[in-house]
C-alpha cells in the first residue's frame, strides 16, 4: 500500500542511544534534558529566541489565543486543517472567514480589511502547504487596526521567506511536529512568541501556571516527553536530506503533471520545504475518478483540504467561493522521503489515464 505520507524514521539504534540518556536518569517528562536540548537546537535552526516545545500543534493555537486575550472575532482562512477553526470556537471566539488567494491557496490578504469590524481582535492565517501568506500586507493591516497576528505554520517548517524561517513572522507562530510532518517528534508541536513577556506567560501556560511550588497564572498541560524529544533530536540532522528527497519527487511529478494540472504558485523569495504535492483537477468528478483509479493500485492520496472550513456543519455559513471551489478539486499525491521512482510513475500513469480520456 502506498499512502499519502510515510513517517520518516531515523536509525533505530541512534534513537535508543539518545533515549537512554533519559532512561538512565529516569527523567521522562517535565522539561527533561532532551527536551531542553531539542529546544536549543530548534531555536538555532529556526533563528528564533522564544521557542517552546509542546505536546501537539493544536494546543499551541489555543494557548496563542488565550495569551493574547482574544475573546471576540478572529479573521481566518477557510482552507486549512479543521484544527485552525476548531480552536477559535473552542476558545469562545467567532471565526470570520476570508476567502483564499486562487494562486497560493493562502488567505487572500486583499480581502481582509473588508472583513474587519469593531469586534475583530486578531488574524489567524495558515501558511498553506508551506507556502507563505502575504506577510507584508497582513502586517500592515494588523498595524493599522491594532490586531494581533497568529500564524499556523504547521506546514512551514523548513520554508524560508526572504532568507528567514517562516516561523519568524507574526506576533505568535505555531507549528505541528506530528508524525506526518516533514520534521516530526512523533507527536508534538511548538509555539514561538516575538515578545519576551508573552513568551514567559506561554512558558507558564504550558506547565499548569506554576514553577515548582510557586503559582503564577492559569495553565494547562502542554509539555512533551523525553521519548518525543529523542525522536526530534534524531530527525533534525536529517532535515536537509529529507527536503532534498522531497524536491526530487516533486520534480518527477512536475515533469508530467505541472503543465496539465493546476498547482499552487509561490514567490521566488520563498525557499520551499516541499511539504506537500497538491494538484487541482478540472472538476470534483475527475478527482473522484482519479481516487478510484489509484485505489485499484493500492495507492491512497488525501483530499487536503476538504471540505472548505466555512462549510463545516457546526458553524454559521459564510460564503467563500474560491475556497469552496478549490477544496472540491484539490488532491495531495503521495509524497514522502524514499518514495520510489517506479511508484511515482504508477501514480502519474493512473492520473494521466483519467484526465486524458
Q: Are residues 182 and 54 both part of a single domain?
A: yes
Report the alpha-carbon distance of residue 25 to residue 308 in Å, rounded: 47
What's the number of domains the chain is made of?
Answer: 2
Q: What is the 3-state secondary structure (H, E, C) of 157-174?
A: CCCEECCEEHHHCCCEEE
> Quick one: cell of 47?
533563528
Residue 84 and residue 119 in one domain? yes
Give pLDDT, residue 356: 84
**pLDDT value at position 357?**
75
Domain boundary among 197, 216, 237: 237
Pick from 193, 214, 237: which residue ends a domain? 237
Burial class (CB in 10 A: 0-12, 13-18, 19+), 268: exposed
Give residue 253's domain range: 239-355
What is the full per-residue pLDDT of the chain (357 aa) written as tens digits? 999 999 999 999 999 999 999 999 999 999 999 999 999 999 999 999 999 999 999 999 999 999 999 999 999 999 999 999 999 999 999 999 999 999 999 999 999 999 999 999 999 999 999 999 999 999 999 999 999 999 999 999 999 999 999 999 999 999 999 999 999 999 999 999 999 999 999 999 999 999 999 999 999 999 999 999 999 999 999 999 999 999 999 999 999 999 999 999 999 999 999 999 999 999 999 999 999 999 999 999 999 999 999 999 999 989 999 999 999 999 999 999 999 999 999 999 999 999 987
User: Considering the domain boundaries, does residue 7 fall inside one?
Assistant: no
Chosen domain end from 217, 237, 257: 237
What was the pLDDT predicted at 291?
Answer: 98
What pLDDT, on the 0 to 100 scale, is given for residue 318? Answer: 96
Question: Quick check: is 4 in a domain?
Answer: no
3-state helix, strand, coil in the chain (%, to 5): 45, 15, 40
Q: How far apart are CA 219 and CA 202, in angstroms?
A: 9
Return the number of other C-beta atoms located less than 10 Å from residue 72's C-beta. Answer: 14
Q: How far apart are CA 111 and CA 321, in angstroms?
A: 13
- Domain containing 313 — which CATH number? 3.90.1150.10
Output the pLDDT for position 247: 98
| pLDDT for the residue numbered 176 | 98
Predicted confidence at residue 294, as pLDDT, reads: 98
Amino acid at each position: 500500500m502506498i499512502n499519502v505520507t510515510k513517517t520518516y524514521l531515523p536509525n533505530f539504534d541512534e534513537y535508543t542511544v539518545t533515549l537512554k540518556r533519559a532512561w538512565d536518569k529516569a527523567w521522562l517528562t517535565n522539561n527533561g534534558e532532551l527536551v531542553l536540548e531539542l529546544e536549543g537546537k530548534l531555536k538555532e535552526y529556526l533563528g528564533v529566541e522564544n521557542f517552546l516545545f509542546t505536546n501537539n500543534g493544536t494546543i499551541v493555537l489555543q494557548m496563542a489565543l488565550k495569551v493574547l486575550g482574544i475573546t471576540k472575532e478572529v479573521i481566518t482562512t477557510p482552507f486549512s486543517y479543521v484544527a485552525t477553526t476548531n480552536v477559535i470556537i473552542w476558545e469562545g471566539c467567532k471565526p470570520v472567514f476570508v476567502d483564499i488567494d486562487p494562486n497560493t491557496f493562502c488567505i487572500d490578504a486583499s480581502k481582509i480589511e473588508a472583513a474587519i469590524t469593531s469586534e475583530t481582535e486578531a488574524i489567524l492565517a495558515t501558511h498553506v502547504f508551506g507556502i507563505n501568506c502575504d506577510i507584508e500586507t497582513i502586517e500592515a493591516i494588523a498595524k493599522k487596526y491594532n490586531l494581533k497576528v497568529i500564524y499556523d505554520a504547521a506546514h512551514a517548517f523548513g520554508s524560508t521567506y526572504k532568507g528567514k524561517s517562516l516561523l519568524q513572522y507574526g506576533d505568535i507562530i505555531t507549528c505541528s511536529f506530528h508524525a506526518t510532518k516533514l520534521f516530526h517528534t512523533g507527536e508534538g508541536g511548538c509555539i514561538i512568541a516575538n515578545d519576551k513577556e508573552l513568551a514567559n506567560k506561554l512558558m507558564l501556560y504550558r506547565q499548569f501556571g506554576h514553577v515548582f511550588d510557586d503559582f503564577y497564572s492559569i495553565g494547562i498541560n502542554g509539555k512533551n516527553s523525553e521519548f518525543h524529544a529523542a525522536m526530534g533530536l534524531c530527525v533534525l540532522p536529517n532535515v536537509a536530506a529529507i527536503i532534498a528527497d522531497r524536491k526530487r519527487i516533486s520534480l518527477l511529478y512536475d515533469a508530467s503533471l505541472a503543465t496539465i494540472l493546476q498547482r499552487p504558485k509561490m514567490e521566488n523569495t520563498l525557499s520551499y520545504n516541499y511539504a506537500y504535492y497538491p494538484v487541482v483537477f478540472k472538476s470534483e468528478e475527475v478527482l473522484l475518478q482519479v481516487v478510484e483509479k489509484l485505489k485499484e493500485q493500492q495507492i491512497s492520496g488525501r483530499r487536503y483540504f476538504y471540505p472548505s472550513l466555512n462549510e463545516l456543519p457546526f458553524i454559521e455559513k459564510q460564503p467563500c467561493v474560491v475556497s469552496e471551489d478549490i477544496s472540491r478539486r484539490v488532491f495531495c499525491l503521495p509524497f514522502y522521503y524514499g518514495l520510489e521512482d517506479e511508484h511515482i510513475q504508477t501514480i502519474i500513469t493512473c492520473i494521466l489515464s483519467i484526465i486524458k480520456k
